[in-house]
Amino acid sequence: MSRRCQRNALLQLISTCGLQHVRHVRQLIEPHFQKDFLSCLPVELAVQIVANLSMADIVRAARVSRFWRDICEDDRMWRLKCEREGLELLPVPSERVAGAWEQTAMGNGVTIVDHYKGTELEQHRKAREQSYGSVYSRSVWKATYLRRCRIAANWRRLPIGGSMVLRGHEEHVITCLQVYSYRQYLKAVCQLVTILHHLNIFGLLST
């Protein structure tokens, strides 16, 4: 039987079937047209495709299937996104009280004001890592990219969440700042901009 005869036979057969049988035929046919194109491609090409998606689209794509989630968690994909944004790997994240920051906090005349309790924050971090695992341990490049996204979001939406009181500088003369990490650098810049803004408002800053 030729293909034309086969099509005519199928058309006549479907036209004589009831609605319930037509729905059953549709359920049998639809899976043949719903093919996972991403799983048919090489992993390298799939990574290139996913790397062009936005963060919101990557989150949605990770929910499609386990294979799509593995692609969205692939370290090569996040490395590619970081390279496109010009991001480089940062040192392993350290605790806030480590190194030079701890020495600065122990110095005379320095008061560090926190808006949270360290014990509660540490418990929250441990509970989150036990539930979802550490992003840094799963993918260093993903942690770097997410860190950049959080910093950008904080700059756009959140107010300054902390402050450092430097006693002994009553005349608003600050000659140097000791900054230990990139996060503290950003916070110090924010505080300096705020101080200069207030000085300009009250007429204490000469132009």
**Residue 182 · residue 90 · CB < 8 Å:** yes
**Average pLDDT of the residues in 124-151:** 72
**Average pLDDT of the residues in 180-200:** 68
User: Could you tell me the pTM of the whole model?
Assistant: 0.48
At 196 the pLDDT is 66
**Average pLDDT of the residues in 148-156:** 83
In the chain, % of residues over pLDDT 70:
58
Nearest to 85 by CA among 138, 141, 155: 141
Of 206 and 160, more confident: 160
**Average pLDDT of the residues in 8-28:** 86
At 36 the pLDDT is 82
Tokens 């701890």 sit on residue: 102
Output the CA angle 192-197-201, nearest 5 degrees.
150
3-state secondary structure of 139: coil
Q: Using 50, 70 and 90 to split pLDDT, how confident is the model at 51?
A: very high
Of 80 and 121, more confident: 80
What is the total residue count of the chain? Answer: 207
**Residue 122 · residue 57 · CB < 8 Å:** no
Q: Please provide the average confidence, as pLDDT, over all residues in the chain.
A: 74
Q: Is the pLDDT of residue 124 over 90?
A: no
Residue 143 CA neighbour count, 13 Å, CB half: 13
Residue 68 CB: number of other CB atoms within 10 A? 19
